[in-house]
Amino acid sequence: MKIVVGGGFGAGKTTFVGSVSEIMPLTTEAVMTEASVGIDNLDATPRKQTTTVAMDFGRVSLDKDLVLYLFGTPGQERFWFMWDDLVRGAIGAVVLTDTRRLADSFSPIDFFEDRGLPYVVGLNCFDGEQTHGIDEVRDALAIAETVPIVQCDARDRESVKNTLITMVEYSMERWVSAHGAGVS
Ligand SMILES: Nc1nc2c(ncn2[C@@H]2O[C@H](COP(=O)(O)OP(=O)(O)O)[C@@H](O)[C@H]2O)c(=O)[nH]1
Ligand SMILES: [Mg+2]
C-alpha cells in the first residue's frame, strides 16, 4: 500500500520516513545554499542543513501481508507540481504538523481534501512540548471531527508506526463506509 507523507517545510517528513523504513530510505537531500535564503524559512529549525529536493521513499512491513510504501512530499511550494503524481494510487496520507507553524499545514490538507484522499494529522513533537493541543489544532485548521489527529514523534519508530496504523485503519473505515463491507 502506498502512503503519502505531507506537511510543511521542516515539519519532519524526512525524519518520519527515515525512522521507520526497513530499507535505507531513498532521500534526495541537498545541502541548502545561500540561494535558499529568504525562500526556505529556517526560523523554527535553525539546525536544519539539508532539504528534500524531490522526495523521500521508504518501506515498512506492518505485518507479513501489509507492506507500506512511504512517499514523502517535498515541502517547498516550488515543487508542488509533483504532488499529483505522488498521490496517484495512494490509500491515504499523513500530514505532519509542527504546531509552532500551524499555517504550513493548510496547503497539504487542502490538497488531500480536494483529491478526496483520506488523511490523518500527526502533531510532530518538537522539543518535547506541544504548543497547541489536539482540539485547538482541529479548530484552527478546521479539520472535520472524523479525521484522526494524533501526537507523534517523527524520530521514534514506534510512534511513527502507530501513526501509520491509525492512517491505514482510517482509510479502511472510509473505504468500507463508501463501498460497503464484504466487497473484495
Ligand atoms: N526536536 C525534534 N526535532 C525534529 C523532530 N522531527 C524532525 N526534527 C528535526 O527537525 C528538522 C527538520 O526535519 P526534516 O525531517 O528534515 O523535515 P522535512 O523538511 O519535513 O523533511 C531536522 O533538523 C530534524 O532533525 C522531532 O520530532 N523533534
Ligand atoms: Mg525533507
Pick the CATH number of 2-179 from 3.20.20.140, 3.40.50.720, 3.40.225.10, 3.40.50.300: 3.40.50.300
Work out the average pLDDT over 71-96.
84
Cβ of 104 closer than 6 Å to ligand 1, yes or no, is no
Q: Which atom of ligand 1 is least distant from the CA of 56?
A: 21
> 22: which DSSP letter?
S
The predicted model gives 122-138 an average pLDDT of 85
How far is 20 from 68, CA to CA, in rounded Å? 10
Pick the residue whose CA is nearest to atom 2 on ligand 1: 126
Tell me: pLDDT of 60 over 90: yes
Split at pLDDT 50, 70, 90, the class of 132 is confident
Residues 56 and 28: their CA atoms lie apart, in Å, by 7
Contact 174, 118 (CB under 8 A): yes
| Ligand 2 is an ion; residues with CB less than 5 A from it | 13-14, 52
| Three-state secondary structure call for residue 171 | helix
Label residue 179 by pLDDT band (50, 70, 90).
confident
pLDDT for the residue 122: 97
Say what the pLDDT of residue 84 is.
86
Mutate to test the pocket of ligand 1, among 26, 47, 48 (most ligand atoms within 8 A of CB): 48
Confidence at 78, pLDDT banded by 50, 70, 90: low
